[in-house]
Chain A
Amino acid sequence: MNLSGILVVVPPERLDACAADLAALPGVEVHHTDPAAGRLIVVQEADDVDAEMAGLLAIKARPHVRLAEMIYHYFATEGEES
């Protein structure tokens, strides 16, 4: 299991629409928002590293996304996944 915490910055006035748009991406959950600054924390789950990277590029490519960068990377060990 690969989990990443990602900061996404969008125009504040579009925050709700962008949150809904991001949440519709596969493996992406929107967890926290900062409406005043247009910032969102999303968590992305991906099967493998290619999917993880493709997912981030997909987030960056969504309309109105000004910035999307990873913050936190969690790597499950086998024992935890079973």
Chain B
Amino acid sequence: MTSLTRRAFIKSSVAAASAATVGLPVSQAVLAQAKAAETGWQWDKAVCRFCGTGCGIQVATAGGRIVATKGDPAAPVNRGLNCIKGYFNGKILYGADRLTQPLMRMTNGKFDKKGPFVPVSWQVAMDEMERQFRKAYGEKGPTGVAIIGSGQYTIQEGYVAAKLMKAGFRSNNIDPNARHCMASAVAAFMQTFGIDEPANVYDDIELADTVVLWGANMAEAHPILWSRITDRKLASKATKVVNLTTYRNMSSDIADLEIVMAPSSDLAIQNYIARELVARNAVNWDFVKKHCVFATGPYDIGYGMRPTSKFAYDAEKDIQAKELEVTLGKAEALAQRRQPGDKVAQKNRTSAGKHWLISLEEFKRGLEPYTLDFVAEIAKGDPEEPMDSFKAKLVQLADLYADSKRNTMSFWTMGFNQHQRGVWVNEQCYMIHLLLGKHGTPGNGAFSLTGQPSACGTAREVGTFSHRLPADMVVDNPAHRALTEKTWKLPAKTLNPKPGSDIMGILRDLEDGAVKFLWVQVTNPFQSSPNANHWMKAAREMDNFIVVADCYPTVSGKVADLVLPAAMIFEKWGAYGNAERRTQMWRQQVDAPGEARTDIWMMLEFAKRFKVGEVWGEKSLPGLKTEGFADGKLPDVLEAAKAMGYKPEQNLYEALFATPENRKFAWPDPVAKGKANATVKALGESWFVEKALFEEYAQFGRGHHHDLAQFDVYFRDDVRGLRWPVVGGKETKYRFVEGHDPYVKAGEGYNFYGGAFKALATGNLDDVTEAKPTPIPGKAKIFFRPYAAPVEQPDKTYDLWLCTGRILEHWHTGSMTRRVSELNRAAPSAVLYMHPKDAESRGIKRNDTVWIESRRGKIKLVVDTKGRNAMPRGSVFAAFFDESLLINKLVLDAVDPISRETDFKKCAVKVWKA
């Protein structure tokens, strides 16, 4: 066949297969032709590698390579569609610069932090890693070592990392990039419902009459869910879409109502809506009285910055000082019932999460200042929009929420989560839906979307956060530690009760020399973290050892001391959990190139190098002060370990992972249908690592509201993932609701059974008045949280807002989507979106190169005044995918003080023509 006719033939079969995938009528002859083109291919179900939507895909392999991918028509999430990022699933494996060998900085054959990268064997790489780990661990103990992990970890990878760190090395210094992405959502779930993750499901899109996007540009960030919203709007003329955003974006294209708001004014708008619901008597009082309580917490909680100026550049010091004391502006003062100019010491900066019960009357008193006039003044985001028009939009939004006949879904992602008051703003969305009694039922709910494929399944459910254990348990709860020690068969008090450093904490620990060994897995923190100049310098100039395991050379790889080549997605077995609690698994499809290995293999090989006797003896832990533990140290548990059958010379691989129970899961296994297993092969083992570890992990959730099905069930041909809790073989659509959730008994109606923070003190809007805890079993909390101004705002010097985010065709730091196989392609660069008048007043034209500078750094970018994002005057936007234009050098490293999640959306910059 000539190449031309072959091409025409393949095109016809691509068309036929596409038509069949989405159910377009085509003839049998056409289908037969599509099949003919696929002769010799093997199709298998899998999951998309990218965002948190969790689209099902089909992957075709032939001759040991992936030759095609398609949306899975049987997948309920995406029904055969597969967005532009899905395109990369098959391509990302074959980038020209895949890492295929370990690379270490060396001079004269020895590790040298100042040396260039030299290819080395795995033996040499791991020998040096072991030496460096032992040095840091010996000098500093469990707090001197750290892992930065990922919401892109498979469930099993996250489980191995968490168990190795927490049970093995007794360190809680493990935190995922999901901290930058989801932590505010998590804390709000825990505070509101006592348990993590959404009550609703994607099916609600097709049932909604009103869809409200709160700072979520779904058209770009969640295109498949957006296509379902678009479909719903076409199918139901009554359905309205509202886009609340700080700039006009692609999601505005189909919106019935676009509200361009000022940064952080979401808090004020939510309180206006709540005030309206109360004033109009649109509250579902029956629901509220039966199932909810009212609560609030302190306002003086700081901004999660360092409390000292010791490490700050001179230009940073004015903002850093606000960590300890803030002078209230007019809006913030009125919103918090204080006087403008009041100086407020941030007394609760280390106890930001505490909260207490208040009365309905106090709740109403909190809402009182949030009149339409007051909120519109704070919230109007486009200086060119007339005030009357903006006010009318707010009223329209309140009308939509207040309409008892409309099914209402609210969606959000980073606009809420990456927010200095991210937990509050999540909670205020639940406030609205709980007041309405419209939560967790078909077509009604407040739905936190996720950004990464397993932010839910791994980072949250497995618990790869510095404070967490599996199944929503936490390290500083003695009962949770005891349960975990029992399941993991550890001696009592092996687990460290002191939460470790979160991701910004670990980076700051590198800067001040507290962490000396860092292992980065499945993420790129030196590009994706804010105020990046600090951490890059710390990595290169402090006495530390940075290991980066990745599939491509990233910014993090460049600042590392040792780079380990990692297998990716379909080169390993895995499981992800998406934003609607759907757990999905895939088989390994192809082999990784060269000497690239799975992250699990790396961790298990590393575990072989450390003995029980080295890690379970007494360990220094500076600052530990917890009941049942001596101050400043973890106890020696070796005697108890011996009594349990452990031997001091046993290695951690044998003690924690290759246990007799886990070895019962034999490899090969019929569920593999002949597919390979790179982890098992490289270990030279005969136990099915990923299956055994999944089953071990699943013990934590079964019977505890987080039930996962058996491993093999997820591989059945008729299963496209299952939404937990999976009880009696049945998945759960709606949580907390009778008739849907197996944990809610007949007659209860609703039961918000999550157990965290369910006994609270009582007080007023300002403080606790009765410390004695009142139990509130089964209740959800309706919080009052006030408007709070961003800590850094435009001023005379830095006169523009900078917002950062992602765009449709690139994903996060671009380490995969910018690295596909075509050579010599023109590299697309990040651009700076800007209002034409802001450009004109600075003498800038479209496509001009400009400097953009904050207190923390400056870079050059090209200006776009007409592109997909239309900025209001006073605001600029840049994406963070471009490793040659590191916008995160400019971003402020303020975090939500409760969740410790970074605010990437608000800092002040100046721009001038380069």
Complex contacts, A50 vs chain B, CB 8 Å: 822, 825-826, 828
Contact indicator B809/A4 (Cβ below 8 Å): no
Within 693-740 of B, Cβ neighbours of A (below 8 Å) are at: none
Contact B68 A71 (CB under 8 A): no
Interface mask (A47-82 → B, CB under 8 Å = 1, otherwise 0): 111101100110000000011011111111100111
Chain B, residue nearest A32 (CB): B19
Query: How many residues in B have their beta carbons less than 8 Å from beta carbons of A?
Result: 51
Contact yes or no, A53 B809, CB < 8 A: yes
Contact A74 B24 (CB under 8 A): no
Check A43/B7 contact, CB under 8 A, given A67-B230, A71-B22, A73-B70. no
The verdict on B120 contacting chain A, using a C-beta distance below 8 Å, is no
Contact of B86 among A32, A73, A75 (CB under 8 A): A73
B67 touches A31 (CB 8 A): no
B675 beta carbon closer than 8 Å to chain A: no
Within 8 A of B (CB), among A1-45: 1, 3-7, 9, 29, 31-32, 34, 39, 41-43, 45
Alpha-carbon distance between A82 and B6 when the two chains are bound, in angstroms: 10
B81 touches A43 (CB 8 A): no
Distance of A81 from chain B, by nearest CB (Å): 7
B87 at the interface (CB under 8 A from A): yes
B11 is an interface residue with CB less than 8 A from chain A? yes
B18, B81, B87 — which one has the most chain A CB atoms within 10 A of its CB? Answer: B18
Check if B328 is an interface residue, CB within 8 A of chain A. no
Q: Using an 8 Å CB-CB cutoff, how does the interface string of B805-816 with A read, 1 for contact, 0 for none?
A: 000110000000
Q: A69 touching B82 by the CB < 8 A rule? A: yes
Query: B15, B223, B231, B826: which contacts A31 (Cβ < 8 A)?
Result: B15
Asked if A39 contacts B24 (CB within 8 A), the reply is yes
Q: Quote the shortest CB–CB distance from B88 to chain A (angstroms).
A: 8
CB pair B231–A67 under 8 Å, yes or no, is yes
Among B19, B30, B88, B820, chain A packs the most CB atoms within 10 A around the CB of: B19
Interface pair B81/A72, CB less than 8 Å apart: no
Q: Is there contact, CB below 8 Å, between A72 and B14?
A: yes
A71 to chain B, nearest CB (A): 4
| CB neighbours of B7 from chain A (8 A) | 1, 45
What's the minimum C-beta distance from A27 to chain B, rounded to whole angstroms? 10
B68 & A7 in contact (Cβ 8 Å cutoff): no
In the complex, what distance in Å separates the CA atom of A45 from the CA atom of B12? 12
Which one of B3, B26, B94, B808 contacts A32 once the chains associate, using CB atoms below 8 Å? B26
- Give the total number of A-B pairs whose CB atoms are below 8 A apart: 133
How many residues of A are in contact with the other chain, CB < 8 A?
A: 38
From A38, which residue of chain B is reached at the shortest CB distance? B234
Is A75's CB under 8 angstroms from B68's CB?
Answer: yes
Which residues on the B side are within 8 Å of A39 (C-beta)? 22, 24
CA distance A49 to B63 in the complex (A): 23
How distant is A80 from chain B, measured CB to nearest CB, in Å? Answer: 7
By the criterion CB–CB under 8 Å, are A66 and B230 in contact? yes
Q: Are B14 and A5 in contact (CB under 8 A)?
A: yes
**B224→A69 contact, CB < 8 A:** yes
Q: Which of A34, A67, A73 contacts B90 (CB 8 A)?
A: A73
Q: Evaluate contact between A48 and B825: CB separation under 8 angstroms.
A: yes
Chain B residues with Cβ below 8 Å from A45 are 7, 11
* Interface membership of B832, Cβ < 8 A: no
Question: Given A31-B19, A32-B24, A72-B21, A82 and B87 touching (CB < 8 A)?
Answer: no
Alpha-carbon separation in the docked complex, A3 to B9 (Å) = 12
Residue of A nearest to B17 (CB): A72
Complex Cα gap A49–B826 (Å): 10
Check B22–A70 contact: CB distance below 8 A. Answer: no
CB nearest to B58 among chain A residues: A72
Chain A contacts for B15, CB-based, 8 A: 5, 29, 31-32, 41-43
Contacts of B231 in A (CB 8 A): 67
**A-side contacts of B224, CB under 8 Å:** 69
Within 8 A of A (CB), among B578-616: none
User: How distant is the Cα of A72 from the Cα of B20 in the complex, in angstroms?
Assistant: 11
Residues of B within 8 A of A67 (CB): 227, 230-231
Does B297 have its Cβ within 8 Å of any Cβ on chain A? no
Known interface pairs A45-B7, A73-B82; 7 further A-B residue pairs with C-beta atoms within 8 A, sorted by A's residue number: A3-B11, A32-B26, A69-B224, A69-B227, A73-B91, A74-B10, A77-B65
A-B contact pairs, 19 of them (CB 8 A): A4-B87, A6-B18, A7-B80, A31-B15, A34-B25, A39-B24, A43-B15, A49-B87, A49-B91, A49-B820, A67-B231, A70-B83, A70-B84, A72-B21, A73-B70, A74-B68, A75-B66, A77-B63, A81-B3
B contact residues vs A (CB 8 Å cutoff): 3, 6-7, 10-12, 14-19, 21-22, 24-26, 30, 63, 65-71, 80-84, 86-91, 94, 223-224, 227, 230-231, 234, 808-809, 820, 822, 825-826, 828
